[in-house]
Amino acid sequence: MKDIYPIVVPVEYFGLPAAAREAGAHGVDAFGVVRPLGNDVFSLLVRADGDVIRNVHDEELAALGLDRAAAERMAIANLSSLASSSESILRQVNRTPSGFHFAVWLGDRFTSSCILWPGLYEWARRELATDEVIVMAPQVELLCVAARGDPEFRNAMKGYMEKVVSGMEKQISSEWFELTAKGIAPLGIE
């Protein structure tokens, strides 16, 4: 199934009240195959048919002979193919005098979902010349990958990304995730 992908969405996508955020991800199962990522951001499995994206539910997976784990592996494989070879995603690497380099990915409706790409950490290590990497999905068609840097750098980058997406639709989150070879986790601030 080459049409199944993970997308990242903010908690607001589900229309959950603030109290539900504190209680966890209650109520999101009605939206299909959903996984919390932290920072009020979730991964949601979808099927893409041309310009139409629709949520994938367990019943559909069962009809296809798939369980959640198999569907998530398939979605990540499709995302990996897109992230590693897509001409629809522009990658701009920015080198700074401080050595805290950053990159902006933009252009495709699955760009922000590349936060889940298993190859992102190695790409970032190579392109940003650091082992300490952070990542943010501020908007559907935008991904920011940066050196962890210091608090001043992180705050400046966060402010910059917030200005970039100001007024844009489909915003996701301006919170940082730590990116390692194992994946993402909300950035713990020292």
**23 pLDDT higher than 60:** no
Distance CA 185, CA 133 (A): 11
Q: In the predicted model, is pLDDT for residue 102 greater than 90?
A: yes
Per-residue pLDDT of 109-135, as tens digits, reads 999 999 999 999 999 999 999 999 999
What is the average pLDDT across 142-164?
96
- Can you tell me the distance from the alpha carbon of 167 to that of 83, in angstroms, rounded to the nearest whole number? 26
In this prediction, residue 190 has a pLDDT band, given cuts at 50, 70 and 90, of: low
